[in-house]
Amino acid sequence: MDTSMVPGDVARKFQCTVCCDYMQPPVLQCCNGHFICSICCLMLNLCPVCRIPLQNIRNMGIEIFANIIRLPCNYSKFGCAVPLLHTERREHEETCEYRLWGLLNDRVYANKPRTLQDLKDNISAEIRNITEETLQRVTANMQMRVEACLLENGGHFQHLL
């Protein structure tokens, strides 16, 4: 089984035009073929690209591809390089070691700190707000990765995760 990730330009074609998350079946489209994830489609009346009324049109071809290709983790912009099938996405992203920084990053910069002191205050406040459950999940995920690395004597181990 191929565990490699599709190239970035192909992966971007599988992003919803509204929320930019990777689409998972059911994949919907407008009459002109613009893809929209099923969650965003529920909140819209018009296609965000061509502005025509949305109907409940599934794109079965894209759904077939979505079932067999591996796309980046939503935390790839923070460093995660794990290629994921859509069926693996939720479980992985809930425990992804980069999730913590992704959450902190979004919260720290939410109010657009203007000074270094504002930034420091935001970071301190958000670190204090990290739940014990989140820390346990991040720690367990990191431990699993260290153990996998040790089993491979420091070699490549992404295929084991």
**pLDDT at residue 52, rounded to an integer:** 92
Encoded amino acid at 42, one letter? L
pLDDT in tens, 79-129: 888 889 988 888 888 878 788 777 788 888 888 999 999 999 998 998 898
How many other C-beta atoms are found inside a 10 Å radius of the C-beta of residue 66? 20
Question: 156: pLDDT confidence band, cut at 50, 70 and 90?
Answer: low
Report in angstroms the alpha-carbon separations of 107 from 96, 100, 101, 122, 127.
17, 11, 10, 8, 10
Please tell me whether the overall predicted TM-score, pTM, comes out greater than 0.85 for this model: no
pLDDT in tens, 32-85: 999 888 888 888 889 888 999 988 899 998 889 888 889 998 888 878 888 899
Q: Domains of the chain by range and CATH? A: 8-71 (3.30.40.10), 77-82+91-160 (no CATH)
